[in-house]
Structure 1
Amino acid sequence: MNANDQASYAGYRALMLVLFGRSGQPPAWRAQAACAGQDTEEFFDPKRIEDVKDGCAGCPVLAECRSDQLTWETSGQGSRRYYASGIVAGLSGPERKRLHYPRTPDRKDVA
């Protein structure tokens, strides 16, 4: 399926709306991302975690990426969109989970 066919495919349009909201288009900042054009499989390869995180650390749009991802993961009309694997916005799944579900002190620790 070529790009023109893909863009007119109803399933593709529906996916873009789910991923990017009403516009159905990725945010403009994505073109400036350090990872633009990279193979997405790298972000899920456990052997490449540090390399990917290093690339994210120097990204000019890291703050926008992180904000967008964390917002996306917590939206969804009752269904959580959190993904436990992969590096996104310089954070691993467990790191993002800690942001979404911060630890609360044990009752005995609270004075």
Structure 2
Amino acid sequence: MHKVKISLIDKFFVPAASKAEFYERMHFNREFLKKLPRLIRQDAYEYTDHDGNLICVTIAEWESKEAIDQARESVQAEYKREGVDLPGILKRLNITIDRGIYNAIR
């Protein structure tokens, strides 16, 4: 029996003026996730709209929903350790996020 692939997919809308700081934070997050167990793979895709705003989609594929939950706890603990207020950063930079956990369709 094959396991169903499960992915955490985020779609970010990033105003043009916020791109540099967004990329910095995204790079940190992607490097941190690489160190976590049960991550299968991660990808990021982007395009710039006609107004210069960034639309970025990140996909992190995990072994299970439990692996996603454990990763979330690890990321939140790291943010706390570093004093990172992600909701505050997103608000300050006017970044919106659409986040969901998706199962692959067979």
| TM-score grouping bracket, smaller chain normalisation | 0.3 to 0.5
The TM-score, its normalising length taken from structure 1, stands at: 0.33
Larger proportion of helix: 1
Higher relative contact order (CA 8 A, sep 6+): 2
